[in-house]
Structure 1
Amino acid sequence: MSQSASIISDSQPTFSSKPSILETLPEIPLASGVCSPHTQQQIDLLLLAIEALELGASEQMLVTIKQLELQSVIKNRVSLWRLRCSNPWRRSYSREDLTIDQAKALVILAGDRARRLTVLIRQLLLAEQQMREKKLPLENHFRLSEYLERFRAHFRSRMNRRRAKVSAYLASEQELNELALAYLSKLLFCTGTKGLQRVWYSLFDGEVA
């Protein structure tokens, strides 16, 4: 009986609980062992920018999670939502801290989606440059205006206006547009050589122990 049980046990496949793709981002030596609220806020806004870029972005993220084999960290739609609610700006702020592995998984997800949208991101940033050079309103470019409008809509519907910084952005459409463009630039940076690693490090500026 014991020999049979041993054979059955030995024949079972073993899986690592930690996706190997997480190793593409370096470890960050944090004193607390978890991400700060500021880091969590930045990661959520990266994903918010992705959502503003493409319709059906939430579904595409779930597909990408499976393709990247990140299910052990981001199990499903609810898990993804809960991780993003670590952003203290959110109405549904969970007050839970992201672990380094959870943060890595979200950043890798954002980077992968950004790479698939590289052409569009470049087009929008080029359009921004052209509009500014011509001293024209950004809204004059249809596709750029569409991105900004979606970003503003997502931000307004999900963020807590009782937060001072959120309230300031909501009070100024121009400031909110600038925030949207800043994260669009970060997404483009993610697509470059070693860009994702550099964005990853930038999320922890001033916080490394």
Structure 2
Amino acid sequence: MDALPNNLPTNPSGNAPADDATKNQVASLTAAQLRDIKAQLDLVLMALEALTHIGSESVLETAKTLQLENILSDRVGLWRLRQSSPLRKGQGRKKLDVEEARALVLVICRLSAAHHEKVRQAVATLEQSTQQGEPPHRAAILGDYLDNFSNLYSDRMSEEALLPHPAAPTQNTTIQNTVAQNTATQSTANQTLTQLSFRLLIDLLFYSAPNGERQLWLALLDRAVQ
């Protein structure tokens, strides 16, 4: 069985040994920090789904390969675990514990490594499009990824997770102004979603590399304690 990432690096390179402070971070995670971690894990896995078209079966098969079927045993359990994300529509009450988080980290990184070439190709295409000043969605691999990610996010996530609430109209606000404000809000939300999808895509490249599980776990901890 692959060891769970208890020994974590103190920097993103994954070369340094774990220190007591990092271990203490894991032991002292609060319920709110675990909620943030499960939200981030769900997003990373969703980005991987959008790029590679994997489904729950691939996740469960990978968990079995890693001898983690006692934690990720079936589709219903996986669905409940992911549905517990605070960003999800109708989020469930399932709480994520540290062992479940570690299991998801290992599964995500194993799947990312299996699709490393596609992840690398997508990131290289994004870099090339950016350098040439071309809209990234015009590249087939990125356009497909963006469409899939947007559809998955729209289907699964609460609007409040991304969309800012538009300001309530005042007496002097015309209908046209209200429509314009809402349109601007939607445009901002679309831009935010695109930025999120590309950030997750770039992150996947690091998680698909050797010691990717350490980098992912460290990133989760850093975000959770901010």
Q: TM-score range, shorter-chain basis?
A: 0.7 to 0.9
Is the contact between residue 22 and residue 101 of structure 1 (CA under 8 Å) also seen in structure 2?
no
- Aligned-pair distance for 1:170? 6.2
Match of 2:105 among 104, 107, 111: 107
Q: Which moved more, 1:102-111 or 1:57-66?
A: 57-66
1: distance between equivalents of 2:137 and 2:99? 39
8 Å CA contact 1:49–1:151 kept in 2: the answer is yes
Provide the C-alpha distance between the structure 2 equivalents of 1:133 and 1:91, rounded to a whole number of angstroms.
Answer: 37
The residue identity in structure 2 corresponding to 1:111 is C
Q: Which runs of 5 or more structure 2 residues have no equivalent in the other structure? A: 8-22, 165-184
Contact 1:52 1:151 in 2 (8 A): yes
CA distance in 2, matches of 1:207, 1:100: 13
Contact 2:46 2:149 in 1 (8 A): yes
Check the 8 A contact 1:25/1:200 in 2, yes or no: no
CA distance in 1, matches of 2:29, 2:217: 17
Structure 1 counterpart of 2:48: 50
In the other structure, the counterpart of 1:24 is 5
For residues 98 and 148 of structure 1, do their structure 2 counterparts lie closer, same or farther at Cα, with a shift above 3 Å needed?
same
Distance 1:77 1:119, change over 3 A: same
Moved over 3 A (4+): 24-27, 31-35, 168-171
Measured against aligned partners, the alpha-carbon deviations of 1:24-58 in whole angstroms (never above 9, x if no partner) come to: 34451225478522111100001101110122432
Q: How far off is 1:126 after superposition?
A: 0.6
Aligned counterpart in structure 2 of residue 96 of structure 1, from 87, 94, 97: 94
Give structure 1 stretches of 5+ with no counterpart: 1-19
Aligned identity (percent) is 28
SS state of the match for residue 158, structure 2? coil
Shift of 1:194: 2.5
The aligned length equals 187
Write the distance in 2 (CA, Å) between the matches of 1:61 and 1:72. 13
- Distance 1:25-1:144 versus aligned 2 partners, 3 A rule: farther
Instruction: Tell me the C-alpha RMSD between the 2 structures.
Output: 2.1
What are the within-5 Å matches in structure 2 for residues 135-174 of structure 1?
Answer: 135-161=133-159, 163=160, 165-168=161-164, 171=187, 172-174=189-191
Counterpart Cα distance in 2 of 1:142 and 1:80 = 31
TM-score relative to the length of structure 2? 0.75
2:80 and 2:70 map into 1 onto residues whose CA distance is 15
